Amino acid sequence: MNYLDRIKITYIIAIIVMMLFIVFIIFIVLMYNRKQLLYIKEKQLKEAEHQNQLLQKELEKQKSIEQERERISHDMHDDLGAGISALKLQAEFLKQKAKNDDLQSDIDELLKTSEEINLSMREMLWSLNSGNDTLGSFIDYAIQYADNFLKRTKIKLWSESIDIISDTPISTELRRNMFLCLKEAINNAYKHSCAQSLKLSFLQENNVFSMKISDDGVGIQHEHSGGNGLRNMKRRMKEQNGECQILKEGPGTQILFKTTI
């Protein structure tokens, strides 16, 4: 073997060694990357399991809260409801026996107060019942409340529901605050508007819910434009990441409540 052949063999051996070294480096890198991927996947799996455990605990907590709400609701209905009914019956019995006009007047006030307490209790029971946490339930109750309130007045009630998906879930807090805004708006219309009619309009656009209360009265007078009622409604809607707008101030008033559900 001459000198040139030895050089060629040496080069070939060097190239083979380099190629083997490169293959070894690639193999080490691939194994490292594989271990890193396995580590990341294992970490993600553990994180997912942790999140699942947290979610499970939150669901159990929510279930426990709902069960407690239901228990309180049933207790209020059974105990307070029965007590108020007994009080009303006793007052009516005393009124029949009373001959003094002043005493009868006091008993009438007692009956009126017991009826107000009974209505307040029904509202609380409705708020506590998790089965009412849907858009359809809220709208039905809102119309029922407005009808019961206005039937003692000269104001005629109209209502409309547009594109409402009844089983759309809403939170208890949002349902309660929207209802309190409705009560305040209807009470303001009764006390200040001198209206002949009032209209409730409910609209759902994907995940946006709007409630508009319109009347044909004299509009919001300047002395009432900064009243506590309007401030409270705006505050309640702001707390729910919603808004309260006065669209029309007279003649007639339109108040719009809008929020994401």
Dist CA 100 CA 139 (whole Å): 45
Helix axis angle for 81-97 and 101-128, nearest 10°, is: 170
pLDDT digits (tens, 9 = 90+) for 39-62: 888 888 888 888 888 888 777 777
pLDDT at 155: 92
pTM of the full structure: 0.61
Helical ranges in the chain per DSSP H: 3-75, 81-97, 101-128, 135-150, 172-188, 228-239
Dist CA 123 CA 119 (whole Å): 6
To which H or E segment does residue 259 belong? Answer: strand 253-260
- Give yes or no for residue 153 having a pLDDT over 90: no
Distance of CA 191 to the CA centre of its chain: 28
Dist CA 261 CA 240 (whole Å): 10
Pairing between β-strand 243-248 and β-strand 253-260 as defined by DSSP bridges: antiparallel
User: ∠ at Cα 58 (126, 243), nearest 5°?
Assistant: 50
DSSP three-state, residue 171: coil
pLDDT digits (tens, 9 = 90+) for 209-247: 999 999 988 877 654 555 677 888 999 999 999 999 988
- Token code pair at residue 238: 């702001």
Higher pLDDT, 201 or 251: 201
DSSP class of residue 134? B
- Token code pair at residue 226: 């900064």
Q: What is the mean pLDDT of residues 133-154?
A: 90
Give 168's pLDDT tier (boundaries 50, 70, 90).
Answer: very high
Q: What is the mean pLDDT of residues 92-119?
A: 72
Dist CA 259 CA 244 (whole Å): 9
Partner residues linked to 258 by β-bridges: 210, 243
DSSP three-state, residue 226: coil
Count other Cβ atoms within 10 Å, centred on residue 197.
Answer: 16
Higher pLDDT, 83 or 256: 256
**CB 214, CB 158: distance < 8 Å:** no
Distance of CA 58 to the CA centre of its chain: 18
**CB 142, CB 102: distance < 8 Å:** no
φ and ψ at residue 53, rounded to 5 degrees:
-65, -40
Measure CA of the first residue to CA of the last residue in the chain; give whole Å: 89
